Each structure stands twice: as C-alpha cells, then as structure tokens.
Amino acid sequence: MNKININVIGLGYIGLPTALTMANAGYNVIGTDYNSELVKTLNAGKVTFEEKGLKELFDSANATGNIKYTTEYSNVKYYIVSVPTPYDKFSKKLDPGYVMNAVKEVLKVCPEDAVIIIESTISPGTIDKLIKPIINKKVHLVHAPERIIPGNMMYELKHNSRTIGADDLEIGKKVAEIYGKTTDGEVVVTDIKSAEMTKVVENTFRAVNIAFANELAKICRHDNIDVYEIIRICNMHPRVNILQPGPGVGGHCISVDPWFLVGDYPSLAKVIDESMKTNDSMPDFVLNRIYEIMKEKNMTDITKVGLYGLSYKENVDDCRESPTLQLLESQERHLATGLKVYDPFIKKDIVKNQYHNLDDFLKAIDLVVIMVKHNEIKENLAKLQNKIVLDCHNICHSNNVYHL
C-alpha cells in the first residue's frame, strides 16, 4: 500500500512535535518552515526548543527515514497547517494573516482533492468566513485543533483525545484514522465550526477559572486572609475545585484565544472579557506587592529586587506573553526600572538586567520574586533563607516570605 504523504507547514512548538509524531507513526512527512535558520538547525540534527523527550522523538523520527525538513512546500495529498494565530490587540479578534498566507502557499502546489488540515487555533467561523473565500481549486478543509501542553507535550501527544472538524464526514473519518495512529486517546469527528469553537472554549474555561482564583487572591489580600488556606478548605467541598492564583497568564493559548470570543461576541462575552482583564491585571498587582513589601522593609532601591523566571510557565523556555515580560512593561510605565531578572531556561539576553546564573542573581538582590515555579528554584529554596521573598506560587514557607 502507498504510504500517506503529509506536508506539515510551520515547525514551531506545535508543528515540529506533530511532524515527528506523524513520521514515527509511519507516514512520509515533509516538514516545511519558511524560517531557513530553523530548517538548517533541524537538518544539522538539533532541536529548536527545549521540551522533555523532544530530542528522543526527533532522533527516532529521523531514524525512520520518514521525515525531511525544508523551506519548500510539497505536492502531497495531506497538509497540516500549524502557524501562529495571534490576536489583534485593538479589536481582540483573531489575526488570521499567518494561516491565510500558509493556505495560499499550499494552494499554489497542492493537487486537486488535497486535504488541508488547519491545526492552528482559530476562532469559530474562520474557515467559513476567511479561508473558504480564498480557495481556488477543489480541496477539502479540516480543522484539527491541538491541545498539548508545553512541559508535557510528549505524553499528551500520545494520550490526548483529538477533535477533527470536517464538513464532509468521509474526509473527517479519513483524517481521524490518520490521527488515530498517533494517539491512544479518542478521536472525535464533528463539523468544522464546532471544532473551532471547542478549542477556543477549552482555553476560555481555563482562563475564566484562573481569573476566579486570581480575583480571590486580590479579595483575600485586601482583608489579609490567606487565599491558599481558603482554597484548600473550599476544595474539600465535593463539588468545588478552585485553581491556584498566580502572577498572571502567558503563553500562546490561554492568554490569547479567549480574546477571540470577546472580539467576535463583544456584547455577549462579558464574563470572559472581565476574566481576561483580571488575569492581565496580575503582573501589576505583583508590582504593587513589591512596592508594599519594599516599604514595609524600608527598601528604597528597586535594583535590589529580582524576578525569578521569565518564561510563561514552569520548566519551559517559551516567554511569549509571559507575566514577567508583562510586569517589566508595567515597570517601564511606572518609570521605576532596574528590576533584575533570571531564568535558567533563557540562555540569551532578552531583557535588561538579565542574569544567567542563580547564585550571581541572588547575590545581587535582597528581595526575590518567584514568578515561575521552575524545578530549579523548588530544589534550591535553601538559598533563599537570607532573602526577602515574594512567592507568587505558594512554594516557599519560611520566614520573610510574602505571598500574593
């Protein structure tokens, strides 16, 4: 039987693991990215970001001989489009530019009857309203949103259930069969618009629940109540499951996708709008906590304060929309610059006053703010003994530790 040929477009955080998984499942994969440096790195046998198990997946996919990396698009039956989908900060709507450009490039080379699977997260109705109008030959459109979480991608790729949105049921079933070989999870087939909606709703559910925890943190702080104790006790109720508050929400999903609903349904998405604003207000809330603690401790020099963690979550190197970057922006607005920053996962200098060694960072500051709960800091809490600590994740409980 002829092997199925798949061209994966966009080899970033989602596209690369997807392409590798498909190759390992026995498909012929052409991985395409227009970033020639990235393609060069992959062809030199190196992965392009840090993720537990990624290098092993990369090596085993390469060993199958089923995958190649290129800047060119190919003439194949199946395409998986995995390019960025940011939102327009002003209108809050999805910015479909990358997806539309990728589809236009695919249309230049694809055969009739090709199947174009959009994995990128898109707002409900995007395929109908924006993609279908640019289709100039007979192809089938499918939406297969990705749910994997950075930090646990390898496990989730193999075990998560998947949603396949296709308006032609037969095509939906064929695509479900392809994905079914890559995951033990259930593969559900639905229509395109429902698939688009499910992905955005999943991330919105998370954003709203995180916002609730963040709002509780603010209310409890106002009356000097321990929010963690409240959540711990409330969660003993059989039908209550409150998440943990934090210094804000970042990344490419939870801090972005819910805005699509606010942008598209502004008079309806009220809870979502307020939730997103609450999450976005957290870095400022942390900055105010820093000022409060400095005042209490008679500290006047902001350069003696350091932010631990730059990525948007623990144990990953992805800084997109991260709370620390948001806090630094807020600091610029307050004209009180000088905060020091350190993250073990960020090897390049991307912000001012950035350190690359934990001990040097701690030596330079009196107050450390735990913005990200990387394993490194959890394993080195003893080093914080003589510091004032603002712990935004409730991982540190010795003297001189403040919480949100």
Ligand X SMILES: NC(=O)c1ccc[n+]([C@@H]2O[C@H](COP(=O)([O-])OP(=O)(O)OC[C@H]3O[C@@H](n4cnc5c(N)ncnc54)[C@H](O)[C@@H]3O)[C@@H](O)[C@H]2O)c1
Residues 247-276 that bind ligand X (CB under 6 A): 252-253
Does residue 33 belong to the site contacting ligand X (CB under 6 A)?
yes
Neighbours of 226 (CB within 10 A): 12
Q: Which of 4, 12, 31, 368 is the binder for ligand X (CB under 6 A)?
A: 12
For residue 35, state whether it binds ligand X (rule: CB under 6 A): yes
Rounded to whole angstroms, the Cα distance separating 119 from 103 reads 12
**110, 220, 253, 392: the active-site residue:** 253
d(CA 225, CA 219): 8
Binding of ligand X at residue 322 (CB under 6 A)?
A: no
Which residue matches tokens 């994997």? 148
Tokens representing residue 221 in the block: 């702080």
**Contact flag: residue 327 with ligand X (CB under 6 A):** no
The least distance separating ligand X from the CB of residue 143, rounded to whole angstroms, comes to: 11
Rounded Cα–Cα distance for residues 124 and 381 (Å): 45
**172 contacts 144 by C-beta, under 8 angstroms:** no
Edge-to-edge strand order for the sheet containing 5-9? 67-70, 28-32, 5-9, 78-81, 115-118, 140-143, 162-166, 187-190
Quote the least distance from Cβ 116 to ligand X, whole Å: 13
Asked if residue 50 binds ligand X (CB under 6 A), the reply is no
319 is catalytic: no
Q: How far is the CB of 160 from ligand X (least distance, A)?
A: 10
Q: Which of 66, 74, 121, 278 binds ligand X (CB under 6 A)?
A: 121
Catalytic residue among 174, 199, 340, 373: 199
| Measured distance CA(85)–CA(194) in Å, rounded | 18
- Phi/psi at 80 (nearest 5 deg)? -120, 115
Q: Interface with ligand X includes 38 (CB under 6 A)?
A: yes
| Single residue of 7, 24, 28, 32 touching ligand X by CB under 6 A | 32
What residues contact residue 113 under an 8 Å CB cut-off, 6+ apart? 77, 138, 139, 140
Q: Is 11 in the site for ligand X (CB under 6 A)?
A: yes
CB 116 within 8 A of CB 140: yes
- The answer to whether residue 85 forms part of the interface with ligand X (CB under 6 A) is yes
Query: Residue 309's closest CA among 248, 245, 382, 398?
Result: 248
If binding is defined by CB under 6 A, does position 79 make contact with ligand X? no
Q: Is 108 helix (H, G, I), strand (E, B) or coil?
A: helix
Choosing from 84, 165, 248, 250, the residue that interacts with ligand X (CB under 6 A) is 84
> Which segments of 181-312 does DSSP mark as H helices, in order?
192-222, 227-234, 257-264, 270-296
How many other C-beta atoms lie within 10 A of the C-beta of residue 27?
21
Pick the stretch among 33-41, 280-288, 352-360, 386-394 that binds ligand X (CB under 6 A). 33-41
Rule CB under 6 A: say whether 9 interacts with ligand X.
yes
Task: Write out the binding residues for ligand X, residues 135-174 only, by CB under 6 A.
Answer: 146, 148, 150
Is 94 a binding residue for ligand X by CB under 6 A? The answer is: no
Q: How far is the CB of 373 from ligand X (least distance, A)?
A: 18
Q: What positions carry a catalytic annotation?
A: 199, 253
List contacts with ligand X (CB under 6 A): 9-15, 32-35, 38, 82-85, 98, 101-102, 105, 120-121, 146, 148, 150, 252-253
